[in-house]
Amino acid sequence: MTETFAALVIKKLIHGQSSNGYLDSLPEPWAAIGQAIGQPHQSPAQRTKAFEAAIAGLPDSEAIRAAVFAADLGADLDELQLPSPQPWAL
């Protein structure tokens, strides 16, 4: 899974869109960030505040923020999802 894909999942959550079930497959720290903001009943401002709180203190918080805000909100997660690696390719 790429950082671009994980950032898009997070951006969709911030905007109250579906993660298409991909939240559970995100690696850390992306999964923890998604869990922190994955509350659809919250307002966009509350989800943005939760995102900022979740990345605060992470050594790569600026890179995470940049990746999330650069993600194309119109992109389709299902089209971006890469197939699982083949066992022989590991």
Look up the domain containing 59 and give its range.
Answer: 3-84
Split at pLDDT 50, 70, 90, the class of 79 is confident
Q: Kindly list the distances between the CA atom of residue 58 and the CA atoms of 30, 84, 87, in Å, as whole numbers in the listed order.
A: 11, 28, 33
d(CA 31, CA 82): 17
pTM (2 decimals)? 0.84
Give domain status of residue 26, yes or no.
yes
Q: How many domains does the structure of the chain reveal?
A: 1
pLDDT tens per residue across span 16-54? 998 888 998 899 999 999 999 977 688 889 999 999 999
Give domain status of residue 89, yes or no.
no
Q: Report the pLDDT averaged over residues 57-68.
A: 96
Give domain status of residue 90, yes or no.
no
